[in-house]
Structure 1
Amino acid sequence: MIEAELLSKRYGSKTAVDGVTFTVQSGKVTGFLGPNGAGKSTTMRMIVGLDRPTAGRVTVNGRPYVESRAPLREVGVLLDAKAVHTGRSAYNHLLAMGATHGIGAARVREVIELTGLQSVARKRVGGFSLGMGQRLGIAAALLGDPQTLILDEPVNGLDPEGVRWVRTLVRSLAAEGRTVLLSSHLMSEMAQTADHIIVLGRGRIIADAPVGDIVGGASQLTVRVRTPHASELTALLALPEVRVTSVEQGLLDVSGISAADIGDRAARAGIALHELTPVTRSLEEAYMSLTEDDVEYRTQSMLETQDLPSQGVAR
């Protein structure tokens, strides 16, 4: 279990993390989300003692990480897959890490096989692709068979098979009762992998709940209605709290009213309905809704850039 209490980090006048309190529970995959600059990486670095908090505290299994006598056996960490001596082979890199904790060649071979690195294990890491580098970083995190895993963007650079492998791996580890904290910008993958979500925005927690609650809580009730009498139904539903949007001919999206109420009103008016389906928003849509006011680095649309002065704007 990872517990943060009023955790803060400032760099001069810049507040990267602002008094966050959360718990990452054992037996679940917890997704750690937020826009660029939200404070995710800084928080992960504080968890494992790479950055010292300005205020507050964070513990792993009841004590600060820096007090761990055998860190590799307690916490497996992937923060930067490129932080490897490029002249070493994958095998020698893992063997050197294991030597610091009395972990021998047998375990090194196990994690190499587990992460699919057998064919490149004796090759220099400097020649690895991005995906192979990620697999090596995951192998290093698993080396001590730890109870807690902290993985920052582990699927970055992986092909679809690799992404599915990571999903299966972290869910199986959580099923064994381990603590898994996982960050990613792939919302579709996080929706399939995580049980619980913590969302940061500008250094503060803006959501901390199960995935279903995140999606449901951010969703406005929307019903997809198909009817040959779309104009008549639109007029019938002209209520202050109801919004009707035409998707295509004969197909409407209606929000602010339940499917049952739409059906009852249409039946009383003699309007035939061919479809009446509640629409569930995706995790990505819920995430975008949650973080729309907390994006620090916002891109501009092509229309917006057309209004900028020509100086300094690539054409």
Structure 2
Amino acid sequence: MIVADNLTKRYGDKTAVDGVSFTVPPGRVTGFLGPNGAGKSTTMRMIVGLDRPTSGRVTVAGQDYRSLRSPLTEVGVLLDAKAIHTGRSARNHLRAMAATHGIGRERVDEVIELTGIASVAGKRAGGFSLGMGQRLGIAAALLGDPHTLILDEPVNGLDPEGVRWVRQFVRHLAAEGRTVLLSSHLMSEMSQTADHVIVLGRGRVLADAPLQELVRTWTTTTLLVRSPRLDDLVAALKMPDATISAVEPGAVQITGITPQTVGDIAAAHGIPLHELTPRVGSLEDAYLALTDDSVEYKTKELA
């Protein structure tokens, strides 16, 4: 379990993390989201002792990371896949790490096979592609068979097979009762992987909720409706809560009322429906709505 309690980090007059509190329990995948500059990386660095909090505290399994007697077997971390000795082979890089904790060569071979880098394990890591570097970073995080896993952008550069493997593997680890904290900017992938989501914005917690609850709270269900008597239907649906807009000939988009209401009104007026499709908002929609005022580097929308 990871517990952050009023965690704050300042760099001079800049506050990167501002009174952040959250709990990442075992048994589920917790997504860690936020715009660039939101404080995610700083928070993860504080979790694993790379940065000291200005105030507040964060613990892993009830302890400060720096006090863990066997860090690799407690916490597996991928924060920067490029943080490797570029002149070493992938296998020797992992063996050097393993030697610090008395981990046998058999485990090194296991994680090499597990992450799919066996064919390049003898090559210098400095020549790896982005995807292969990510796989090596994941292998290093898994080396100690840790109880807690912290992965920052683990699917960056991976091909579709690798992305699916990461998704399935982290869910498998969570199902075993391990703690998994996963950061990513890929909302579509996060929506298939995370059970719970923590969202940061400008150094503060904007949301801490189950993924589906977050989506329901921050998005609106839209109904796509088609009918050969569309004008009659639109007239019958005029009510204070309904917003109706045309999308194409013979079809409208409706918000503010339920599919049941549309169906009942159409039936009551004898109006045939050719389509009544609810379109539920996505995690991306919810994330953008939630962080709209917290984006540090905002681009101009195209007209």
Tell me whether 259-268 or 39-48 shows the greater mean CA deviation.
259-268
Aligned to 2:245: 245
* Cα distance in 2 for residues equivalent to 1:219 and 1:235: 26
SS of equivalent residue, structure 2 residue 146: coil
TM-score by length of 2: 0.97
Mark the CA change 1:302 to 1:276 in structure 2 (over 3 Å): closer, same or farther: closer
Please tell me whether residue 8 in structure 1 is matched to residue 8 in structure 2.
yes
1:290 and 1:237 map into 2 onto residues whose CA distance is 30
Partner of 1:76: 76
Paired residue for 2:129? Answer: 129
- What is the alpha-carbon distance in structure 2 between the residues aligned to residue 165 and residue 42 of structure 1? 27
Whole-angstrom distance in 2 between the partners of 1:39 and 1:236: 50
Measure, in 2, the Cα distance between the counterparts of 1:199 and 1:57. 19
TM-score by length of 1: 0.94
- Kept in 1: contact 2:243–2:256 (CA 8 A): yes
Task: Kindly provide the amino acid, as one letter, of the partner of residue 183 in structure 1.
Answer: S
Q: 1:184 maps to which residue?
A: 184
Change in CA separation of 1:291 and 1:140 when aligned onto 2, cut-off 3 Å:
same
Quote the offset at 1:222 in angstroms: 2.2
CA-based RMSD: 1.1
Cα displacement (A) at 1:184: 0.6
The yes-or-no answer on 1:46 pairing with 2:46 is yes
State the Cα deviation string for residues 121-140 of structure 1 (Å, max 9, x = none).
01001110000000000000
What is the aligned partner in structure 1 of residue 155 from structure 2? 155
**Which residue number in structure 2 is paired with residue 215 of structure 1?**
215
Quote the offset at 1:277 in angstroms. 2.5
Q: C-alpha distance in 2, partners of 1:16/1:272?
A: 56
Structure 2: distance between partners of 1:25 and 1:176: 13
CA contact (8 A) 2:79 2:151 kept: yes
1:161-310 paired onto structure 2 within 5 Å: 161-302=161-302
Runs of 4+ in 1 over 6 A off after TM superposition: none
| Aligned residues between the structures | 303
1:19 positional shift: 0.6
| Counterpart check, 1:113 vs 2:113 | yes
CA distance in 2, matches of 1:301, 1:251: 27
CA contact (8 A) 2:2 2:23 kept: yes
Structure 1 stretch 50-59 or stretch 228-237: which is displaced more? 228-237
Cα distance, 1:241 vs structure 2 = 2.1
Structure 1 residues 114 and 48: alpha-carbon distance in aligned structure 2, compared to 1, 3 A threshold? same
**Which 10-residue stretch deviates more, 239-248 or 99-108?**
239-248
Structure 2 gaps of 5+ residues are none
In the alignment, the residues of structure 1 paired with residue 46 and residue 37 of structure 2 have an alpha-carbon distance, to the nearest angstrom, of: 15
Match status 1:67 vs 2:67: yes
- Secondary structure in 2 matching 1:122: coil
Match of 2:99 in 1: 99
Residue identity matched to 1:222? T
SS across alignment from 1:154: coil
**C-alpha displacement at 1:302, in angstroms?**
4.6
> What SS does the corresponding residue of 1:225 show, helix, strand or coil?
strand
The answer as to whether partners of 2:31 and 2:181 remain within 8 angstroms in 1 is yes
Return the letter of the residue paired with 2:70: A
**Cα distance, 1:247 vs structure 2:** 1.8
Structure 1 unaligned spans of 5+:
304-315
Percent of pairs identical after alignment?
70
Tell me if structure 1 keeps the 8 A contact 2:220–2:280.
no
Deviation, 1:236, is 2.3
Deviates more, 1:25-34 or 1:273-282: 273-282
CA contact (8 A) 2:221 2:281 kept: no
- Paired with 2:206 and 2:302, the residues of 1 have a C-alpha distance of 30
Q: Tell me the distance in 2 between the aligned counterparts of 1:279 and 1:221.
A: 6
